[in-house]
Amino acid sequence: MRGPSARGALALAAALALAAACDRDGAAVGVDPAKTTWEPCEETFECATIRVPVDYGAPGGATIPLALLRAPATDPESRLGAIVVNPGGPGVAMIDRLVAEYATMRLAFARVFERFDVVAFDWRGVGRSAPLRCAGDAFFEEVRAAGLGLETPADVAETERLAKTLADGCRAAAGDAMLEGLHTENAARDLDRIREALGASKLDYLGLSYGTWLGATYATLFPDRVRAFVLDTPVFASSTDNAGRIERRAAARDAALERFFAACGRDAACPFHGGEGAPAVARAFDALFAPGRARAVGGLSAVDAALAVTGALRADDRDDFAADLAAAEAGDVTALRARADAAAGKRADGTYDGSIEALVAIGALDLPFAAGTTAGDLGARLAALGSRSALPASIPWALAIDWPWRRPGPAAPISAPSAPPLLVVATRHDPVTPYEDGERLVEALANGSHLLTYEGGGHVAVLRSDCVRGIVAEYFLDPSRPPASATCPR
């Protein structure tokens, strides 16, 4: 185990135990870093497990395991600390992702990985941390074939049936206490236990997509424990009406599609009606995904079409996406189905990774629908979205309507005026998360956080921009210095 000497670790453990004896809500909690055992795992990594309360209001009650994975700094002599990484979702298993993508990440952030350990954890209910297993693989095949667009009374009834099946399965698998405790505030308290396990007085954190909401929640609860926080592709989840958020996400997706139509329409080399002008590309796209059309040419459901299109826009890979559309127009939806499989969490062996059920269970607590909302109500709102509404925008949120569990109290509004400035990175043309969410998050934090704008498309800017990666690296190395620029070009 790399880090402080044994004597230093024990002293730090005692100090942390004293500081953490009472959490902000008065609950006695804490993790002793001297008793956190890191073992070699996954060939080149280190793994540990800590236990956290199911209910932080009852710390003496039931606990669940939280799985951690660490890649030690490549230059331990100049080590500055550990950066905890969360990719969002919610529901994405970060441990498996870090194992698969560490080599690429290390190349992209060489200077940072030299001086920091990189730590992944699986959110409670996800991956290796007491994962929810509410339904079998056949259920998710049903979901992908269902009418989640809620266009007809039969679609509404089918969606209500699937939602009840999922909720019943979750209750049987996990119980009410666990399902009430999956909200982001508890995940933020878990994140503070991770900080303790690392023996750190302050936390360094990289949150992507929904991981930004986790980071902002942590800064709200524990502002004095923040060192360097990077929140890339911000989600502003402060809402009591998820239907409105679905509408905003649909608008962001459609705006990204319009950019694709324009780019393809003026480029004769674009595989999907290239050079014919944006209106012609849009007409061809709408014809391909008109109700029943995609299924007719290859058995692709409307849900799968929406998953595939959103996945392609997230990746911002115009040429590959255009080629996939051209193949589908010719009757081959293999590539689009592969995109849908990836988005739905379907593995190569045909099993599902649990990300859909975790997304629903966590999102239903953090992003509830307005009281009294029915599947029919959501269907009516979706019908008014416009020309792209043939691609359901409610995936998989329609399964969370009338979810039986609610968090025990209102979430603390995001506000961290005493925290040091965070680095918030927002993508101008993000197809999933509106750019305005970044502006709203910086305003809510109210601590002088920096807003870095990536003037491109796709989802998660550090995946697409050397400029963004450079600014992020400099910030982690010295968060007291403001970013060198407020914008990065596409």
Average pLDDT of the residues in 417-443: 96
- What is the structure's pLDDT at 10? 35
SS3 state at 404: coil
- 68 domain-assigned: no
Mean pLDDT of the chain: 89
Q: Which residue has the higher pLDDT, 370 or 421?
A: 421
Domain count for the chain, please give it.
1
CA distances from 180 to 17, 27, 124, 381, 409 (A): 28, 18, 12, 28, 10
Phi and psi (nearest 5°) for 206? -120, 110
Residue 315 half-sphere exposure, CB side, CA atoms within 13 Å?
15
**Side chain identity at residue 169, one-letter code:** G
pLDDT at position 353 over 60: yes
Could you count the other beta carbons within 10 Å of the beta carbon of residue 404? Answer: 14
- Position 392 confidence tier, pLDDT thresholds 50, 70, 90: confident
383-391: average pLDDT: 69
Q: What is the mean predicted confidence (pLDDT) over 422-447? A: 96
pLDDT of residue 387: 57
pLDDT at residue 151 in the model: 86
The tens digit of pLDDT for each residue in 46-88 reads 999 999 999 998 878 999 999 999 999 999 999 999 999 999 8
Instruction: Point out the residues that are catalytic.
Output: 209, 430, 459
Domain containing residue 336: 242-400
Sheet holding 450-457, edge to edge: 39-41, 45-53, 63-71, 116-121, 81-86, 203-208, 226-232, 423-429, 450-457, 487-488
Q: Is residue 37 part of a domain?
A: no
Q: Do the domain assignments include residue 114? A: no
Copy the structure tokens of residue 204: 């360094």
| Predicted local distance difference test score (pLDDT) of residue 450 | 98
Q: Please write the tens of the pLDDT for every residue from 176-223.
A: 999 999 999 999 999 999 999 999 999 999 999 999 999 999 999 999
* pLDDT for the residue 149: 86
* Residue 327 within any structural domain of the chain: yes
Instruction: Report yes or no on 353 lying in a domain.
Output: yes
* Pair 189, 28: CB distance under 8 Å: no
Closest CA to 460 of 1, 163, 173, 86: 86
Q: Residue 46: inside a domain, yes or no?
A: no
Residue 385: pLDDT band (50, 70, 90) is confident
Q: Which of 307, 305, 308, 310 is nearest to 293 (CA)?
A: 305
| pTM of the predicted structure, to 2 decimals | 0.90
Q: Are 330 and 298 in contact (CB under 8 A)?
A: no
**Cβ neighbours for 156, distance < 8 A, ≥ 6 positions apart:** 150, 374, 375, 376, 379
